[in-house]
Amino acid sequence: MTNRTNRCILCGSGRKSKEYAIGSKGIYKCDSCGLIFTLPQNRLTQFSEKQKAIYEGEMYRKMYFSIRKKICHRAEKRLEEISSYRTTGSILDEGCSYGFFLEVASEKGWESYGTEINKPAADYSRKLGAKVSNCFTEDAKLKKNFFDAITMWDVLEHTENPVKHLIFVRGLLKKGGIIAVQLPNIDSIASKIAGKKWAWLCPDDHMYHFSVKTLTRAIKEAGYDMIEMRTWEDPTVIVDSIVARIKSDNNKAMNSAIDKIAIPFYIFMNKVGFLFYPYHWIIKKYNKGGLILAYAKNK
């Protein structure tokens, strides 16, 4: 559903049920197909202005650089997977931030392009050698039928109409080109535990909340052939959700105590995460991980 049509972007239904109320926002579910979405929705231009102070701020930059090694390691794994479907060529990373993914892609032989609305991040990513446009992808002067692969790491949920966005992106891909999509899984165990306090609901930022079922439908509606879809999550995600669920809405002292108690659990999960193999086996088998990762091909 959108503010403009009040119809579900997947099935066209106008019937919806309210799942949660979060401040001035509501999280709704389409009664027909199950797509979950935020209302009212911010326009993308409003989003970029509202979040500018956060995403262009020094605190965000320091946080992002603190996990640079982790991002680059994950980029290597994702590029290996992409290369199994499409050999090196031209790649576009939407919302490329400070360009760490594109830096690794260039090292692997890809011709690297990006789009990023955060100007300091776009400027930095250019210093790493990528060709980056400081704007939304729709506003960038990109060639049609040009890219061998396009990545959307935690991007699609921010768009006003994910199906239309996927269709637009398909026009930038060569025939047989690959898209890689990652976004939060509303059907995850972590989401169910945290409920309305789930960290990845982000009602001011995330307009849509996908499950494996609804993301599969969106990708197919946009004209792609699905290749692979799976879910995953970092070891501490489940702890985050439990902590979020038990925190009080108005007792800061209690919340501070909960945070202190939780610290040993975070350390424990990072060091001996293998002990939670049964849990990770379950989320893998039943697609209940906190994040969805999908690969699809332009027909």
Whether residue 131 has pLDDT greater than 80: yes
Query: Residue 239: what pLDDT?
Result: 86
Residue 47: which pLDDT band, with cuts at 50, 70 and 90? low
- pLDDT tens figures, 88-120: 899 999 999 999 999 999 999 999 999 999 999
Segment holding 232, helix H or strand E: strand 224-232
Both tokens of 113, joined, read: 């392009």
DSSP conformational letter for 8: -
Q: How many residues does the chain have?
A: 299
- pLDDT tens figures, 143-202: 999 999 999 999 999 999 999 999 999 999 999 999 999 999 999 999 999 999 999 999
- pLDDT tens figures, 64-92: 999 999 999 999 999 999 999 999 899 99
Cα 207 from Cα 38, distance rounded (Å): 5
**Vertex 168, ends 165 and 172: CA angle to 5°?**
130
Sign of CA dihedral 282, 285, 288, 292: positive
Taking residues 259-288, what's their average pLDDT? Answer: 80
Sheet holding 208-209, edge to edge: 16-22, 25-30, 36-39, 208-209
Between β-strands 36-39 and 147-153, what pairing exists: parallel, antiparallel or unpaired?
Answer: unpaired
- pLDDT tens figures, 213-264: 999 999 999 999 999 999 999 888 988 899 899 987 878 888 788 877 777 7
CATH number of 44-231+294-298: 3.40.50.150
Cα 116 from Cα 130, distance rounded (Å): 12
* pTM, two decimal places: 0.92
Hey, where are the domains in the chain? 44-231+294-298
Phi, psi dihedrals of residue 235, rounded to the nearest 5°:
-55, -30
Residue 15: which pLDDT band, with cuts at 50, 70 and 90? very high
Cα 119 from Cα 62, distance rounded (Å): 16
Residue 52: which pLDDT band, with cuts at 50, 70 and 90? confident
Whether residue 271 has pLDDT greater than 90: no
Whether residue 53 has pLDDT greater than 80: no
41 within 8 A of 2, measured Cβ to Cβ: yes
Provide the 10 A C-beta neighbour count for residue 272.
Answer: 10
Cα 153 from Cα 78, distance rounded (Å): 11
